[in-house]
Every structure is written in structure tokens, then in C-alpha cells.
Amino acid sequence: MNTLLKNWLTFILLIASAQFTSAQITGKIIDADDNSPLEYATIALYSQAPKNLITGVVTNENGVFTFDKVKKGTYLLEISFIGYQAKKIENIVFTDAKKDLGILKLSIGTSLNEVVITSEKAAVVSKIDKQVFDTSKFKNSIGGSATDVIKNLPSVSVNGTGEITLRGSTGFVVLLNGKPVQGNASTILSQLPANSIEKVEVITAPSSKYDPEGKAGILNIFTKKGAADGSFAQVNVRAGFPSIEDYDNSESTKRYGIDATYNYRKNKWNLSFGANYQRNDISGRREGEVFTIINDVKTTFNSDGERSFDEENLSGRFTVDFTPDENNDFSVGFFAGKRSKDRRADILYYDNNAVQPANSNNRLYTFQYYNENLRIRTSDFALGSFDYAHKFADKSKLSTTFLYEYTLLGGPTTNRNLGYPDTSQIIQDEYNTNDNPLYGTLFQLDYEFADFSFGKLETGYQYRFLNHQGDFFYTRRNNTTGIFETVPEFTSEIDLKRTLHSGYVNLSGKKEKWEYAAGIRLEKMDRELALQAANEPNKEVLKYDYLQLYPSATFQYSLQNDTKVKAAYSRRVERTTTFKMNPFREREHSETFEQGDANLLPEFVDLVEIEISKKFEKGNSIYATAYLRNVKNLVNRVNLIYNDTILDRVYTNVGTGKSLGLEVGAQLKTSEK
């Protein structure tokens, strides 16, 4: 009897427990525009009919939410977040012990029906592997170019001639919407309008999933796309005041520009178009004091005169995004532009220039002359890209990218040495020109596995091909006949072909107070350099290849009081350029030749960073970063003496080099408005 009673009680308990079996509901909320997770989004769970609130939760730092102990049934889910359009999911039937709703996207909203709440987006967001800057905060760059935007970034400097450095080095890579470009960084940035840029990522210690090129790191520039359904148009006009100081330049500077953007987004389509024109001249002057000593004879050639720049940029762009469903994304983009930058250096080598014994002030003779130098550099370029991404049912993701790039660099240089004050006397008249077309191809395949308990695992393959051709043609006027004749020692042809294959594995995740990212990349490079001087019948072909591993690791620990400590290591490479590998002399102006090294080796870089950061109330924060950069096969420009008044600047490997730096930055909000 007792046994029968126990069996009945067990049966009743099983029936009761079956009636109260609970389901766990999970999901992830992300930004529909950039796929970043949304922390503190609110999710409310209602019964479907009648509609009664059951419970509510908020997402964690990864955008993930979880409902526990929810009974089986049919439910309604409402998702909301400040500044975003609310999302409703109806008729959700739960019959299993666990239900995963997958990734749910929220789009930025335009208005709220009852209450309008405004919030200020942080100017900079620090993540484990990068700093993300909101360019809308940089009001001083409105109407300018991307170069004006990055002037505001820490560690980035732009000098008076437009040369850009990151942590004191020109060796950095520009990514456009996550895609690397192989052309000149200044060319791209000067033709991209500031108003088209949404954000910039500064990645100084990149992980292995990024191409390892660029010893100083990466600038990743993202252009704007429509966030809400509808049309959007913007036109910006820029004008500059006359120069405060014209430095007695022959022409007054001109500064003005206009850019326009149009965006249309509807359902599955997102279209964006833009155009830009900029005129940005720079007035300037140069004063120089130079001397050489050859065989105990000292030659002094001091100088003074105009050194100005006239620059014009014209560009256009468009992107078309198509999202047929939540699992597939297609994107096509095109960006093209024309640029002309003229540098005028009209210099007087004045009358205290002298030739004398090195140890005496007794002048053997003095001389003076006037140098007219006009260097015109044009750069036409076009970038075309196609992207496709697919999300699988298990939340894994496959992404593909194809990029084609074309750049035509070139332009003539006129160099005339004239008598002074009688400038009708022609001492030397030279004309050289070059055409340097660059063709670049990139294919990339990335696979992101479904999240494991220990983190996110990513892997991928990349193919890159570069074909950079150069024809350098140098002529000098025969003062007797008046005919320009070829100068064989300065006339040459150089072609560079570089093929890269690389694959990577990267693991990242978070465990309690720890965040981590570690990986390794294997790269195979084949380089072929073909050289031919004007007076040589055959080309010389030099080949070089390597197989290199590029490890990376970053660890971050969260202390109390919103303080974080981070340590990072990244191995990088600075691949050699055609300009620095051209062994034939090229005359830029009266005083100098430029010359490269055909056997130049790539620079291999080991970078170590240590950073501490702290957040305060009202969005204020401060950080300090110390870094050590060790460079093998360091490339330097060495100055040699060609003759008494001409320097020969030669690029060559000089061994190893170390750079030690400290960066300190802060984000301070001084008022509530």
C-alpha cells in the first residue's frame, strides 16, 4: 500500500512539474548601422493576450539579455533604447527549455511620440583594441577634408606641407570603411570631405585580424550612411579669409570649397551619394643656410625665397547597400577623385655665397643666382569595392570583400637656374616628368564562429597584389642649340610587383574583470623589382620574398572606480615603396637629388604598449599610454654630397632603431551645454 501511494505521489509531482516547466529567453541587441552591441537597452516581456507585463530586463555590456523562469506560452517582446526606434516582436511561442531570439537590430530614431530625451554622444570611446572618435564633435573641420578631421586626433600631426604622421612616423595605414588602400594616404585623405565622415578609429596595436602593414598603426575611417528610412541631403560651403602674411608670394592664396551628400534609405535599400570640390592654397617662404666641404674647400650657398603650394581636389563617391533579409548583406561602393598640388620654390641664392678654404675666411670668389622651381604633382584615383556577408543559423558569420584600386601619380618638374639680377640669362634649364600608375587588388575572406563559452574565435584569408610602375624622364636644355636633350643618368624605368598571401586566427573575449584578444597571422610575400636605365638595353630584375609570423596579444583588467589597465603587443611590417627603392637619381630642385636602394629590406616592428585609463562623472575621462617600438632594418634618409652645391639624399637600411613615447589625453566636459 505504501509503495502504491509513493508511486501516485511521484506521478502527481511529475505532472505538476511539467505544468511549471520554465523557458529561458535570450537574445542580443545591436546597432543596425555599425553592428555594435547596445548596453542598457530595455526589454519588456508581455503575455500576448491579454497583454500583461510579466517582467523586464536590460542588456549587459555585450548587448545580451536573458529572461529566466518564464512559463511556456505565447508572448510579446518590446525593446527600447534612448535615441533608437522601439522594436516589437509578437506571437513568440515558447515550447522548449531555452529559446534564443538571436541578434535583434535597433535603428536610430528621429523622434519620440510623447517625450523627447536628448543625450550627448561621447567624443571618444576607448575599447580594448582601439579608440573610436565621433567626428561630429570636431566643429573646426566642418567644410574641410579628412585631413582636417584627423588633425584633432591624439598622436596625429599634420605639418605645413600636408605630411601626416602618427606617433611621429609616416608609416601608417589608412582603412576606408575597414578596407585597406595601397595608394598614398595623403591623396585619399585630402579628397575625402570631412562632412562625409562618421567616425575614425585609431588602432595603434592592431590584432592579427588586421593586415600587419604600417609600423605606427592604423587609421580606420568610416563614412556616413542613412540610419532611418527616408531621404537626407546636406550641402556645405567653405570660404577662407586672405592670408595674414603673403610672404611676398607671386600669387595670392585661394581657399574655398563645397561638398554635397544625399542619402536615401527605404526597407532593404540604402543609397548614399556625394561630391566634393576643394581649393586650399598655402603661402610660404624658405630661408636656408647650407655649406659643403670638399677637399678642404668650403662652399656656402645661403638662400631666401618663395615656397608656396596651390592645391585643388575634386572627388565623387557612392555606396549602395542591399539587405534582402536579416541574414544577408550586400554592399557596392565607388570613390574617385582628381588632385593637383603645385609647389613653387623660387629661391634667390644671394651674394654672400662664397667658395673659400675650409680653415680661412679668404674668399676665392662669390656667386649668386636665381632658381625657378615648379613641381606639379597630379594624382587621379579610383576605388571600387564589393562586400557580402552572411549570418548562419548558429550565429556564425561569413564576410567577403573585393577591392580594386587605381592611382595615377605624376607630373612635371621645371628647374631653371637664372642669372641675378639679370634673370634673362639662362645658366641651366631642366625639365623632368614621371608617370607612376598603381594598380591594386584585394580579396578577403573572414569567418566568425558562433560564440564559445571562452570567447569569440575569428579566422580569415587575405590576398593582395600591387603593381606600381614608374617612368622617369629627365631632360636638360642645350644652351647652344636650345634643344632639350635626355640626361641618361637621371632617366629610368622601374616596375614593382608585390604579391601577398596571409591567414590569421584571433580569439577575443571577456571573463569577469578581464578582457583579452590574442592571435597570430602568417604572411607570405613575393616581391619583384624590374629596373632599366635609359642607357641600358636590358632590364635588371631583383626578387625578394619572405614568410613571416605576426603575433598579437592584448589584455585589459578593470580595477575599482572605473579604472582600467591594459597591456598590448603587436608585430608589424613597413613594406618598402617604389619611391624609396628607385636607385636612379631624381632631381627635385636645385639643391638636391633623391635616390633609393633597389635592395631595400622591409622594416619589421615589435610594439609594446601599457595604458591606464579612468572614467569620472559626467562623461569625463583621462588616460596615459607608454609605448616602445623596436624596428629591425630601419630605413633612414642619408645625406651625401654630390658636388659643391648639390646634396644626394639616399634611402637605405641602417640597422635597428627604438622609439619610446608617452601619450596623455583627457576628455573633459566643462559645462552641461
Q: Which residue, of 66, 91, 106, is where some domain finishes?
A: 106
Whether residue 309 sits in one domain with residue 440: yes
Q: What pLDDT was estimated at residue 504?
A: 97
Q: What pLDDT was estimated at residue 322?
A: 93
Q: What pLDDT was estimated at residue 459?
A: 97
| Cα-Cα-Cα-Cα dihedral sign, residues 421, 422, 426, 432 | positive
Average pLDDT over residues 186-215: 84
Q: What pLDDT was estimated at residue 22?
A: 47
Q: Tens digit of pLDDT for each residue in 406-463?
A: 998 888 999 999 999 899 999 999 998 888 899 999 999 999 998 888 889 999 999 9
Q: Examine residue 50 and say whether the peptide bond preceding it is cis (omega within 30 degrees of 0).
A: yes
pLDDT at 334 over 70: yes
Ranking 402-406, 609-613, 647-651, 667-671 by mean pLDDT, the lowest is 667-671
| Cα-Cα-Cα-Cα dihedral sign, residues 192, 198, 204, 205 | negative
pLDDT at 188 over 50: yes
Whether residue 575 sits in one domain with residue 650: yes
Whether residue 328 sits in one domain with residue 257: yes
CATH number reported for the structural domain that contains residue 549 in this entry: 2.40.170.20
Average pLDDT over residues 534-553: 92
pLDDT at 520 over 90: yes
Nearest to 190 by CA among 61, 337, 63: 337
Mean pLDDT score of the chain: 85
Whether residue 475 sits in one domain with residue 580: yes
Q: State pTM to two decimals.
A: 0.76
The answer to the question of residue 634 being in a domain is: yes
Q: What is the Cα Rg of the chain in Å?
A: 31
Nearest to 199 by CA among 130, 129, 106, 105: 130
Q: Tens digit of pLDDT for each residue in 586-616?
A: 877 778 888 899 999 999 999 999 999 888 8
Whether residue 518 sits in one domain with residue 603: yes
What is the band of 354 on the pLDDT scale with cuts at 50, 70, 90? confident
Helices (H) and strands (E) in the chain, counts: 4, 39
Q: What pLDDT was estimated at residue 464?
A: 96
Whether residue 95 sits in one domain with residue 220: no
Ranking 62-66, 113-117, 319-323, 422-426 by mean pLDDT, the lowest is 113-117
What is the band of 120 on the pLDDT scale with cuts at 50, 70, 90? low
Q: Count of domains in the chain?
A: 2
The answer to the question of residue 78 being in a domain is: yes
DSSP letter string, 260-286: EEEEEEETTEEEEEEEEEEEE-B--EE
The answer to the question of residue 421 being in a domain is: yes
Whether residue 173 sits in one domain with residue 87: no
CATH number reported for the structural domain that contains residue 80 in this entry: 2.60.40.10
pLDDT at 347 over 80: yes
Q: What pLDDT was estimated at residue 14?
A: 44
The Cα angle at residue 21 between residues 18 and 27, in degrees rounded to 5: 155
Q: In this structure, which amino acid lies at residue 388?
A: Y
Whether residue 170 sits in one domain with residue 96: no
Q: What pLDDT was estimated at residue 404?
A: 95
Whether residue 398 sits in one domain with residue 494: yes
Q: What pLDDT was estimated at residue 118?
A: 45
Q: Which residue, of 106, 139, 165, is where some domain finishes?
A: 106
Whether residue 458 sits in one domain with residue 388: yes
More confident residue, 428 or 536: 428
Whether residue 164 sits in one domain with residue 100: no
Give me the sheet containing 42-47, strands edge to edge.
53-58, 42-47, 73-80, 87-94
Q: What pLDDT was estimated at residue 39?
A: 81
Average pLDDT over residues 210-238: 80
The answer to the question of residue 24 being in a domain is: yes
Q: Distance from CA of residue 161 to its chain's centroid?
A: 19
Q: Is 101 exposed, middle or buried (0-12, 13-18, 19+ CB in 10 A)?
A: middle
Ranking 167-176, 284-293, 415-424, 647-656 by mean pLDDT, the lowest is 167-176
The answer to the question of residue 115 being in a domain is: no
Average pLDDT over residues 136-155: 76
The DSSP bridge pattern shows strands 621-632 and 603-615 to be antiparallel
Q: What pLDDT was estimated at residue 18?
A: 41
Range of the domain at 322: 156-667
CA 669 to each of CA 125, 278, 370, 616, 665: distance values in angstroms, whole numbers, following the listed order: 14, 33, 54, 10, 13
Three-state SS letters, 174-233 = EEECCEECCCCHHHHHHCCEHHHEEEEEEECCCCCCCCCECCCCEEEEEECCCCCCEEEE
DSSP letter string, 318-381: EEEEEEEETTEEEEEEEEEEEEEEEEEEEEEEEEEEEEEETT----SEEEEEEEEEEEEEEEEE
pLDDT at 160 over 80: no
Q: What pLDDT was estimated at residue 122?
A: 59
The answer to the question of residue 354 being in a domain is: yes
Q: Which residue, of 78, 106, 134, is where some domain finishes?
A: 106
Whether residue 163 sits in one domain with residue 92: no
Ranking 190-194, 207-211, 313-317 by mean pLDDT, the lowest is 190-194
The answer to the question of residue 29 being in a domain is: yes
pLDDT at 3 over 90: no
Residues 449 and 447: their CA atoms lie apart, in Å, by 6
Q: What pLDDT was estimated at residue 23?
A: 61
Q: What pLDDT was estimated at residue 415?
A: 92
pLDDT at 556 over 90: yes
Share of the chain above pLDDT 90, in %: 35
Cβ burial 171-207 (10 Å sphere, 16+ → b, else e): bbbbbbbebbbbbbbbbbbbbbbbbbbbbbbbbbbbb
pLDDT at 13 over 80: no
Q: Maximum distance among all alpha carbons in the chain?
A: 132
More confident residue, 489 or 372: 372
Q: Distance from CA of residue 338 to its chain's centroid?
A: 20
What is the band of 220 on the pLDDT scale with cuts at 50, 70, 90? confident
The answer to the question of residue 140 being in a domain is: no
